[in-house]
Amino acid sequence: MKKYFLPIVFLLSISILKSQTPEQNLQNLGIVLPKPSSPLFNYVKFVRTGNLIYLSGQGPVKADGTFITGKLGRDLSIEEGAAAAKLTGINLIATLQTAVGDLSKVKRIVKVFGMVNCTDNFYDQPKVINGFSDLMVAVFGEKGKHARTAVGMYALPMNIAVEIEMIVEVADQ
């Protein structure tokens, strides 16, 4: 009978993790969502059409309002770029929460478009955008797994390290 104890405990712990809300997952990760910033130019942060929310591209805005800037392959390491992508993810989740109120309404992170400000000989854009993708899975579980594009850009606005946009499916209102 004891040989079944560990697998049962393991299965119970997995089911407990699956039953946590995105807000609980954020809390367990020690993440406090910031107040979303206002658009810098002539656009809106998100548009909802039906059950899809299109979130405008955002960058790695720190709590003090400054950005993580620089080019991957020259100014920033892959790890620093992944941290910038994670911070961008936190900011996008904050905007998403503004759009839907309760993050448990998220049915799926559908599509992500990640842009990396990099030199012409930098080829690890997917490793950088993994900072974002890993966060989505940690917060939303299976619903956080998404289709993705990760590309390099010659320049991004204000020299930000990354810019990421996403499309999210949500439950009916």
Single pTM value for the model: 0.89
Q: For residues 6 and 12, what is the distance between their CA atoms, to the nearest angstrom?
A: 10
Sheet holding 162-170, edge to edge: 46-49, 52-58, 162-170, 106-117, 147-153
Q: For residues 91 and 96, what is the distance between their CA atoms, to the nearest angstrom?
A: 9
Give ∠ CA 47-134-153 in degrees, rounded to 5.
Answer: 65
Per-residue pLDDT for the chain (173 aa), expressed as one digit of tens each?
Answer: 444 444 444 444 444 455 699 999 999 999 999 999 888 789 999 999 999 999 999 999 999 999 999 999 999 999 999 999 999 999 999 999 999 999 999 999 999 999 999 999 999 999 999 999 999 999 999 999 999 999 999 999 999 999 999 999 999 86
- The CATH architecture assigned to 22-170 reads 2-Layer Sandwich (3.30)
Domain ranges of the chain: 22-170
